Amino acid sequence: MVNTAKPGLKRKAGDKKTPNSKRQQTETSKPEKKRSKPVTVSLDTTTPNESDEEEFVEVEGEEGDWSDVEMEDVEEKPQGQPKNPNSAKESHQAQKLVHEQRKAAKPHSDLLSESKRIWAKRQKHVKELLSVIRGKVKDIVFKHDASRIVQSIVKYGSQADRDEIAAELKGKFKELAQNKYSKFLVTKLIRLSSTHRQSILLELQPQVLRLLLHREATSVLADAFELYANAYERSILLREFYGKEATLFTVTGGSAEDKEKAKKGLAGFLEGVDIERRRRVLSALNENLTTIFNNPDKGAITHAIVHRALWEYLGALEALPEEEKEKMRRDMFETCQEVLAEMVHTKDGSRVVREFLAYGTAKDRKQILKVVKPHIERMCLDDEAQNVLFTALDVTDDTKLLAKSVVAEIVNSAPKLYTSVQGRRALLYLISPRSRRHFTPAQIASLAETDEIRSRTSKKSTESREAEIRKSASEGLIAWIKDNGRTLIRDPGASLVVTDVILCAEGDKSAAISSLITAISSPYPSLNKTDPHPMDLAHTSRIYKTLLQGGHFNRKTEAIESPPEWDAASFAVGFVNQLTKDVVTSFCTKGERNGTFVVVELCAALVKEGEKEEVLDARETVKRWFGGEVTKGVEEGEARGKVILLEKLALL
């Protein structure tokens, strides 16, 4: 099948598209963004949104849709000859006939055809609806049912329709945002009418603080700031936090240079100002933030706009004298310490809490951990919130407190955490913090932002702190693998956690190792095709290969990184003692590739540590297993890696 929608194949002049343009199709078919929820909100709690309607994807009308026509159905015209209109018309008719025949052969073709015909009338009705309410939108938009009507026009109408609605409502957006029903219309216009977004936000800007504390309007500002506004439009909403002086001296709609300065937020406004003016602005910002934090029942403290203002406040303190800076930071911490758990789910909120952790005293850190402890499992599953936990592990000297309040909670949640990327990172940070195998350079750089502060506020060395945390987490993680090894090795994500825990954890790992080896002791290959043997799973075989070779392979150094807590030779001995000859030899003679390379690493481990008595016994056992007919079977087999395996067997 060849797609014929190419430049050489044009649509008939009489063919029509459905009324909505391609751009509009894209806009209406995109799933609406959702704000990140605080970790203090339970997983099954949802906030009803009256504007949440099912998103429909625009479909191309029957006419002009030739995506299923093969090139053989299109009459090719020799180049250089004049075009024959009649011939082109006949060709298009033939194409259309073939397409209709193919559509008719599909299931429910009549039903779909009729549905599309009726659906295509929607735009006509939207236009009629707009003509009925034109000039009266302000009068009806505050009603429940009428607000729905206007929302439908904004959602399904053209861009011109949206702009017309926005223009008619100019001057009313503050009142609309405070209404129980019309607030959803304001959010829709901010989202879909980009040409009017700035004017809407400028209309709301003088009352931002009051609207944030309003039960209905707070969600409008939160959505606008976090989901739809660009950098300059966010600066419009933040301006009110800086006080009257900042509002009066800020240019609205100025030059490109002014807009670039505004995008920097408070830092841009304070560029080049004297120390007294800086103090006045920071005092106003402090007062406004305190007003927000003293009204937690309204929910404003969970919004990203408040967290950005607080982060900018802490950043602006750096230009003040040291004593004054510390006092103002201390005062702000005491103001918001009880609600810090409401802030960790956003980027700026997470950075604020991490800075409080880094600068805080032992008592401050204890208070922060007390506040977030009930929400640790949820924090582990959130990209931004988990960074707060990682920073707590990085900067807190009291590792006994960490073991009780953070480490134990994470380990106990392991059965729920290993199924997601974020959860696995939380588990791995206890064992292999900031490992480039599991953390991106951006994540590591973000976590490193507090390292310089930690060097001044923490007394314990990084190495000793990490070792103590690893030790406190090891027992629980090893026990978890021992009890669930058979299940965990089959999960691709869990296999990463299992490998690093076995390699790096401290303590007695013999029971967990025995569980892992027992998990592959069943006859190979599996008789049940729907349930393959673990060794046939690439991620599972990689666990045993890594453990037998002594650690992870580092591509930069071209060498194996062997953790001091791991003994590959002992694992190889246990591998030989627990598995039978039939199972191990079958890995190489009946498998395709995975098992062969595992046995290669088994032989290499036994050769490398061949002086120990138990290792020598295991070597002899493997030599007996692969004697005579078995080795011949390997040579005649088609398993990948057999050449390397034969070389390793010869060294036993």
pLDDT of residue 166: 95
For the stretch 573-627, pLDDT in tens is 999 999 999 999 888 887 666 889 999 999 999 988 767 889 899 999 999 998 8
Q: Are strands 559-561 and 552-554 parallel, antiparallel or unpaired?
A: antiparallel
- 552 - beta bridge partners? 561
12 lies in some domain: no
The position carrying tokens 């940070």 is 429
CA angle (611 as vertex; 608, 615 as ends), nearest 5: 75
488 lies in some domain: no
Q: Which helix (H) or strand (E) holds 560?
A: strand 559-561
For the stretch 369-410, pLDDT in tens is 999 999 999 999 999 999 999 999 999 999 999 999 999 999
Cβ-contact 495, 462 below 8 angstroms? no
Lowest mean pLDDT among 179-183, 249-253, 491-495: 249-253
State whether residue 638 is helix, strand or coil: coil
Answer whether residue 498 shows pLDDT above 80. yes
Distance CA 39, CA 343 (A): 8
Distance CA 237, CA 206 (A): 9
625 lies in some domain: yes
Answer whether residue 16 shows pLDDT above 50. no
pLDDT of residue 324: 94
Domain that holds residue 170: 117-227
The position carrying tokens 């019309």 is 182
The position carrying tokens 């509002």 is 247
Cβ-contact 368, 32 below 8 angstroms? no
What mean pLDDT, rounded, does the chain reach?
85
Distance CA 279, CA 227 (A): 32
643 lies in some domain: yes
Lowest mean pLDDT among 125-129, 376-380, 501-505, 591-595: 591-595
- 559 - beta bridge partners? 554
Report residue 109's pLDDT band, with 50, 70 and 90 as the boundaries. Answer: confident
Q: Which helix (H) or strand (E) holds 166?
A: helix 159-168
Distance CA 508, CA 479 (A): 10
For the stretch 324-376, pLDDT in tens is 999 999 999 999 999 999 999 999 999 999 999 999 999 999 999 999 999 99
Task: State the first-to-last Cα distance of the chain, in angstroms, to the nearest integer.
Answer: 57
State whether residue 559 is helix, strand or coil: strand
User: How many domains would you assign to the chain?
Assistant: 2
pLDDT of residue 83: 57
Answer whether residue 85 shows pLDDT above 80. no
For the stretch 219-237, pLDDT in tens is 999 999 999 999 999 999 9
> Is residue 143 exposed (0-12), middle (13-18) or buried (19+ Cβ within 10 Å)?
middle
Distance CA 605, CA 607 (A): 5
Cβ-contact 599, 607 below 8 angstroms? no
105 lies in some domain: no
485 lies in some domain: no
Looking at residue 404, what DSSP letter applies? I
User: What count of Cα atoms within 13 Å lies in the side-chain half-sphere of residue 587?
Assistant: 28
Q: pTM score, two decimals?
A: 0.83
Report residue 252's pLDDT band, with 50, 70 and 90 as the boundaries. Answer: low
Percent of the chain with pLDDT over 70: 86
Compare 527 and 202 and report the one with higher pLDDT: 202
Domain final residue pick, 173, 203, 227: 227
Distance CA 295, CA 293 (A): 5
Domain final residue pick, 227, 261, 290: 227
pLDDT of residue 183: 94
The mean pLDDT value for 448-473 works out to: 94
Closest CA to 453 of 348, 365, 346: 365
For the stretch 507-548, pLDDT in tens is 999 999 999 999 999 998 888 878 899 999 999 999 999 999
Distance CA 179, CA 173 (A): 10
- What residues have CB less than 8 Å from 114, skipping those under 6 apart? none
Dihedral (CA of 220, 221, 222, 223) sign: positive
Lowest mean pLDDT among 88-102, 251-265, 456-470, 531-545: 251-265
Cβ-contact 429, 390 below 8 angstroms? yes
pLDDT of residue 70: 40
For the stretch 132-187, pLDDT in tens is 999 999 989 988 888 999 999 999 999 999 999 999 999 999 999 999 999 999 99
Compare 44 and 344 and report the one with higher pLDDT: 344
293 lies in some domain: no
Closest CA to 304 of 330, 261, 333, 342: 342
Answer whether residue 61 shows pLDDT above 50. no
pLDDT of residue 508: 93
Lowest mean pLDDT among 31-40, 397-406, 410-419, 468-477: 31-40
- 560 - beta bridge partners? 553
Q: Rg (Cα) of the chain, in Å, rounded?
A: 33
Whether residue 296 has a cis bond before it, omega within 30° of 0: no
Domain final residue pick, 175, 201, 227: 227
State whether residue 553 is helix, strand or coil: strand
pLDDT of residue 384: 95
Q: Which helix (H) or strand (E) holds 247?
A: helix 244-249
> Is residue 618 exposed (0-12), middle (13-18) or buried (19+ Cβ within 10 Å)?
buried
Answer whether residue 446 shows pLDDT above 80. yes
Closest CA to 595 of 522, 650, 512: 522
CA angle (408 as vertex; 413, 39 as ends), nearest 5: 55
Cβ-contact 424, 432 below 8 angstroms? no
Distance CA 198, CA 1 (A): 48
User: Amino acid identity, residue 113?
Assistant: S
For the stretch 551-571, pLDDT in tens is 999 888 889 999 988 999 999
For the stretch 290-329, pLDDT in tens is 999 988 776 899 999 999 999 999 999 999 999 999 999 9
Compare 353 and 20 and report the one with higher pLDDT: 353
User: Amino acid identity, residue 474?
Assistant: S
Distance CA 249, CA 262 (A): 12
The mean pLDDT value for 463-478 works out to: 96
For the chain, give the longest Cα–Cα distance: 95
Closest CA to 309 of 254, 360, 346: 346
Closest CA to 376 of 347, 346, 417, 432: 417
Distance CA 293, CA 349 (A): 13
Answer whether residue 63 shows pLDDT above 70. no
The position carrying tokens 């015209």 is 77
The position carrying tokens 């009066």 is 248
153 lies in some domain: yes
> Is residue 315 exposed (0-12), middle (13-18) or buried (19+ Cβ within 10 Å)?
middle
Answer whether residue 78 shows pLDDT above 60. no
Report residue 17's pLDDT band, with 50, 70 and 90 as the boundaries. Answer: very low
Whether residue 85 has a cis bond before it, omega within 30° of 0: no
